[in-house]
Amino acid sequence: MKRTGLLLLILSFTVLIVQAQPAVIPINRKLSPLLQNNRKLFSDKKEQVFWIVTSNIDSARNYFRTKQLQVRILQEHAGGLLVVSASGPLIDSAVLNQPFVRFVDVPRIPHEELAVGTFDNSLNTINLVHSQYPALNGAGMVASVKENKPDTTDIDFKGRYISTPQTSSLIASHATYMATIIAGGENSFYTGSGVVPAASIVSSNFATLLPDGDNVYRQYGITVQNHSYGTGIENYYGADAAAYDASIINNPGLLHVFSSGNSGNLVSNGPYAGISSMANLTGSFKMAKNILTVGATDSFGNVAFLSSRGPAYDGRIKPELIAFGEDGTSGAAAHTSGTVLLLQQYYKEKHGGPLPPASLIKALLVNSADDRGNKGPDYQSGYGSLNAWKAMQTLANEQYSSGSAAQGGTQTLTINVPANTRQLKVTLCWLDPAAAANAPKALINDLDLELVDNSGQVWLPWVLSPAPIIDSLLKPAVRKKDDLNTVEQVTIDNPIAGTYAIRVRGFAVAGGGSQPYAIAWQTEAPDQFQWQFPTAVDYAKSGEDNLLRWSSTFNTNAGSLEYSLDKGASWQTIGNTPALSQGYAYWHAPDTCSIALLRMTINGQVFTSDTFTISPLLAVHVGFNCADSAMLFWDRIRGIDTYRVFRLGQKYLEPVITTSDTSLIVRQPGNFLWYTVAPLVMPSRPALKAYTINYQTQGVDCYLKNFLVDLDNGNTGLLMAEIGTTLNVKSVTFEKLTSSGYEPLQTFQPITILYYEWADKNLKDGVNTYRVKIELNNGMIIYSSPQSIYYFLTTRYLIFPNPVKTTSYLSVLAREEPENTYLLLYNTLGQQVLQYRLQQTVEMVPLHGLTSGVYFAMIKKNGKKEFTTKVMVQ
């Protein structure tokens, strides 16, 4: 036994010595797995981009210069990372073997991890934060979206997008969705509402997978950067992972939030090669320790099928969180990024300016997450589902602390746990120094968390098995020492009331210094119930199924669910209430526009919701869009007497007028083009706003919405016209162009409908031209643009216009596809002045060079005359 122990000790020291000597790492350890498996990338003599991690940038620069190597340094990053341009053979023969080179990789092409199309900020209780903390809206905060450029003309970003040199030139809808989820201003519709609608937005091109420079984050005040993209499944700690860990260390108030990926059903590689549906995070950068990696759930909190799973390459718990993202992990990351800004803003305002360290925000989010799947953390859902409200409560109640642990030292914090607590949860988090690229294990400084009660009983953190066997990866967490993760969590169910000691020990802290950390804790009381949807800021859709949400700590599963439309004077039961532990129920709201209440009765206790609004979807239309004015109108809603009109101001929608009418005249020209309307269920309470419209782009002209003519049954002209409104319209007339001008065909009066139709059964051979005449009550006349029908009755060809201008074109229409057919023009002297081959049934013949006068037109097919006419050229 002693001999075995001695051998293990010698082996341990050997491993430590090898890890401490990066210069003697074998050549293949200097290559990323991608390059190890694709050595042919070194055979291409064309210049390409490489990432080279050096022990000393100056040594690398001097070497390139002294040897006169064709290596161009494009960028320099913290941790000795160089982005260079060089040929593969040169890197392979002259650079890779140098002692200062620690790691070489190539950048990969990123791709967005799907866009979300479903709006739901209630699953992760973001709406509850909005309701209870209305002043928290992201004002003064800045979020960066690293991918392509969002549509900066989107009205949900008006006045809040900041252009920077880092912005991509490519505009993508995916980037627009992510920016909307994080910081949409709700100008377009309620689904355009972001987590922090007053935050500023910048974007950074993800053409480079490395973080932006520290100066960029500081210059623009960026405190969260969202990364909803991936590459392939990459199970190693890359130069990019080290760069992101260093980025947060260098900017301790900054947090990078990554989507886990949409490869949850794929087979892993690297240390977990061959294992299906596990260890399939999409990108080596997601192996960083200090970031947040977020998986996706459906509307019920279940991990989405395609959401990428952990562990990280070295067995660490990934993702740390899951959040709503029914169509992909992109939206899950964006919801989390927005929540980070909410917490940062609260902390900043409460503490007079400074930002919270990223370790504290991470600890708050992890500790407050709702446990999913196996008890404790797991590789599918991490530490649970994002709960913005609980995180905010932990911050508001100051259930957090920070400290610093030295090598071998222990820091102790005591907390009081009240009686009847259902669960005590404590989470430790620290920002760990960046490891060497391609390190077999990423952890540098190892801290240990313990929870001790009055009797001396010790609880250790939950730890998962990292063994590369599917059965091991699916095992529930056990309590033991954690020597992999920078996040450690202890929970105790039904703890005994009293004082508990939280101990943080510096088990292995490199360099003789100390490691800062953050701790968050919470206690869960029994017999608690809280409505999560709807809150005061939410809308239930009238006449539709709405997903009600709540949280409950009652042991019983029985409850009675009711609603009221008269401020609680009377109540109506909602079907069969599902189990309280389920946390949701569908409710088909009545077809009305009204304020409402919900209540849940449990064991005689009544829990009433906020007053919320049941609202139908109103539509705003344009009646006319004339030079001096435009008219907006909307349908009247039963039971609603007043409406509020909003227009888009400098950044947000602003109220214009409250009216009992259902139309509004907008004077032109004006500076405001975007309008919407909301019914008022109470004098100061608008219901759901309609989609916001730009009244100049709705296809409505000055009263006339559209005018179409068509040939029907080969011999009838079908005329169709639609006006935008009947307001002030006296008559609508279809007119036809004759030799003496336009003549009326049919007049409609009085005007009670918007759509009109007429059939002209007297078509003439050739061109039949029509227009619509609209007469208003004040005598004003409005004409449409002319529309024509071409009718072949006795002829096979039509030539027009006649007369035609010398600078214009002569249109030639053929009844059938022409073959070997030519148009010939002759002047009055009989000289041929133009020959044009007709190849299509519609031809535009240029007349440039012809002088004014009368010409004879002839069409010949296969040398035979088929058609003649006179053409006047002006």
**For 284-294, what is each residue's pLDDT tens digit?**
999 999 999 99
Query: Please, which residues have CB within 8 angstroms of residue 758's CB and are 6 or more apart in sequence?
Result: 718, 719, 734, 745, 746
DSSP, collapsed to helix, strand or coil, labels residue 843 as strand
Predicted pLDDT of residue 117? 58
**Is residue 576 very low, low, confident or very high in pLDDT (cuts 50, 70, 90)?**
confident
Q: 532: which 2 tokens?
A: 């999560």
Predicted pLDDT of residue 245? 97
CA distances from 384 to 189, 319, 427, 873 (A): 31, 9, 13, 80
pTM beyond 0.95: the answer is no
Instruction: Judge contact between 183 and 196, C-beta under 8 A.
Output: yes
Rounded to whole angstroms, the Cα distance separating 771 from 721 reads 10
Predicted pLDDT of residue 534? 96
Instruction: Judge contact between 442 and 237, C-beta under 8 A.
Output: yes
Q: Which CATH superfamily is domain 529-614 in?
A: Immunoglobulins (2.60.40.10)
> Nearest CA to 338 among 196, 175, 202, 139?
196
Alpha-helix residue ranges (DSSP H) falling in 99-209: 126-132, 173-183
As a whole number, the mean pLDDT across the chain is: 91
Segment 326-351 shows an average pLDDT of 94
Rounded to whole angstroms, the Cα distance separating 274 from 37 reads 16
Count of Cβ atoms closer than 10 Å to residue 730 Cβ: 15
pLDDT at 22 over 70: no
Predicted pLDDT of residue 6? 34
The H or E element spanning position 54 is strand 47-54
CA distances from 566 to 357, 430, 538, 592, 706 (A): 47, 52, 18, 12, 45
**For 222-239, what is each residue's pLDDT tens digit?**
999 999 999 999 999 999
Count of Cβ atoms closer than 10 Å to residue 113 Cβ: 32
* Best mean pLDDT range from 1-15, 106-120, 527-541, 844-858: 527-541
Instruction: Judge contact between 158 and 185, C-beta under 8 A.
Output: yes
Establish whether domains 25-105 and 797-873 are of one fold: no
Note the Cα 77 to chain centre separation in Å. 29
* Radius of gyration in angstroms for the set of CA atoms belonging to the chain, rounded to a whole number: 36
Predicted pLDDT of residue 661? 93
Domain 704-791 architecture: Sandwich (2.60)
Class at the top of the CATH hierarchy for domain 797-873: mainly beta
**Is residue 45 very low, low, confident or very high in pLDDT (cuts 50, 70, 90)?**
confident
Cα torsion 339, 345, 346, 350 to 10°: value is 160
Residue tagged 């960046």 (tokens): 434
> Nearest CA to 28 among 107, 85, 103, 88?
103
Boundaries of every domain in the chain: 25-105, 111-524, 529-614, 617-697, 704-791, 797-873
Segment 359-384 shows an average pLDDT of 96
pLDDT at 130 over 60: yes
Rounded to whole angstroms, the Cα distance separating 406 from 506 reads 5
Rounded to whole angstroms, the Cα distance separating 320 from 289 reads 10
Please give the full DSSP string across 741-786, using - where no structure is assigned.
EEEEEEEE-S---SEEEEEE--PPSEEEEEEEEEEETTS-EEEPPP
Count of Cβ atoms closer than 10 Å to residue 127 Cβ: 24
Predicted pLDDT of residue 303? 94
The DSSP call for residue 17 is H
CA angle 474, 475, 478 (to 5 degrees): 140
CA distances from 854 to 365, 714, 807 (A): 85, 33, 15
Rounded to whole angstroms, the Cα distance separating 660 from 542 reads 22
Instruction: Judge contact between 273 and 237, C-beta under 8 A.
Output: no
pLDDT at 5 over 50: no
Count of Cβ atoms closer than 10 Å to residue 835 Cβ: 10
Q: Please state whether beta strands 629-634 and 663-667 pair in parallel, antiparallel, or not at all (unpaired).
A: antiparallel
Rounded to whole angstroms, the Cα distance separating 69 from 98 reads 13
Predicted pLDDT of residue 841? 86
Instruction: Judge contact between 505 and 447, C-beta under 8 A.
Output: yes
297-315: b (≥16 Cβ within 10 Å) or e: bbeebbbbebbbbbbbbbb
**For 742-755, what is each residue's pLDDT tens digit?**
999 999 999 999 99
Q: Which CATH superfamily is domain 617-697 in?
A: Immunoglobulins (2.60.40.10)
Rounded to whole angstroms, the Cα distance separating 608 from 467 reads 49
pLDDT at 2 over 70: no
Least reliable range by pLDDT among 256-260, 376-380, 590-594, 786-790: 786-790
3-state secondary structure 246-289: HHHHHCCCCEEEEECCCCCCCECCHHHCCCECCCCCCCHHHHCC
Least reliable range by pLDDT among 74-88, 124-138, 453-467, 559-573: 74-88
> Nearest CA to 183 among 171, 195, 167?
195
Burial level of 554, CB count in 10 A (0-12/13-18/19+)? Answer: middle
Beta bridge partners of 621: 633
Instruction: Judge contact between 181 and 324, C-beta under 8 A.
Output: no
Q: Please state which of the four CATH numbers 1.10.580.10, 3.40.50.360, 3.40.1010.20, 3.40.50.200 is assigned to the domain occupying 111-524.
A: 3.40.50.200
Beta bridge partners of 733: 747, 773
pLDDT at 840 over 60: yes
Predicted pLDDT of residue 1? 38
Instruction: Judge contact between 544 and 451, C-beta under 8 A.
Output: no
Predicted pLDDT of residue 18? 33
Query: Please, which residues have CB within 8 angstroms of residue 104's CB and are 6 or more apart in sequence?
Result: 30, 31, 32, 35, 50, 51, 52, 53, 91, 95, 96
Residue tagged 């009305």 (tokens): 592
DSSP, collapsed to helix, strand or coil, labels residue 388 as helix
Q: Please state whether beta strands 755-760 and 643-648 pair in parallel, antiparallel, or not at all (unpaired).
A: unpaired
Least reliable range by pLDDT among 26-35, 478-487, 531-540: 26-35
Predicted pLDDT of residue 23? 38
**Is residue 685 very low, low, confident or very high in pLDDT (cuts 50, 70, 90)?**
very high
> Nearest CA to 355 among 266, 257, 253?
253
The H or E element spanning position 58 is helix 57-66
Query: Please, which residues have CB within 8 angstroms of residue 543's CB and are 6 or more apart in sequence?
Result: 588, 589, 590, 591, 616
Predicted pLDDT of residue 39? 77
Q: Please state whether beta strands 255-259 and 222-227 pair in parallel, antiparallel, or not at all (unpaired).
A: parallel
Query: Please, which residues have CB within 8 angstroms of residue 542's CB and are 6 or more apart in sequence?
Result: 589, 590, 591, 592, 593, 614, 615, 616
Domain 25-105 architecture: 2-Layer Sandwich (3.30)
Rounded to whole angstroms, the Cα distance separating 29 from 436 reads 11
Count of Cβ atoms closer than 10 Å to residue 183 Cβ: 30
**For 397-444, what is each residue's pLDDT tens digit?**
999 999 999 999 999 999 999 999 999 999 999 999 999 999 999 999
Instruction: Judge contact between 587 and 596, C-beta under 8 A.
Output: no
Predicted pLDDT of residue 28? 62
Predicted pLDDT of residue 286? 97
**For 158-196, what is each residue's pLDDT tens digit?**
999 999 999 999 999 999 999 999 999 999 999 999 999
Cα torsion 665, 667, 671, 677 to 10°: value is -10
3-state secondary structure 569-633: CCCEECCCCCCHHHCEEEEECCCCCEEEEEEEEECCEEEECCCEEEECCCCEEEEEECCCEEEEE
3-state secondary structure 447-477: EEEEEECCCCCEECCEECCCCCCHHHHCCCC
Beta bridge partners of 469: none
DSSP, collapsed to helix, strand or coil, labels residue 337 as helix
Count of Cβ atoms closer than 10 Å to residue 444 Cβ: 19
Instruction: Judge contact between 538 and 122, C-beta under 8 A.
Output: yes
Residue 153 one-letter amino acid: T
Burial level of 659, CB count in 10 A (0-12/13-18/19+)? Answer: middle
Q: 461: which 2 tokens?
A: 């953190």
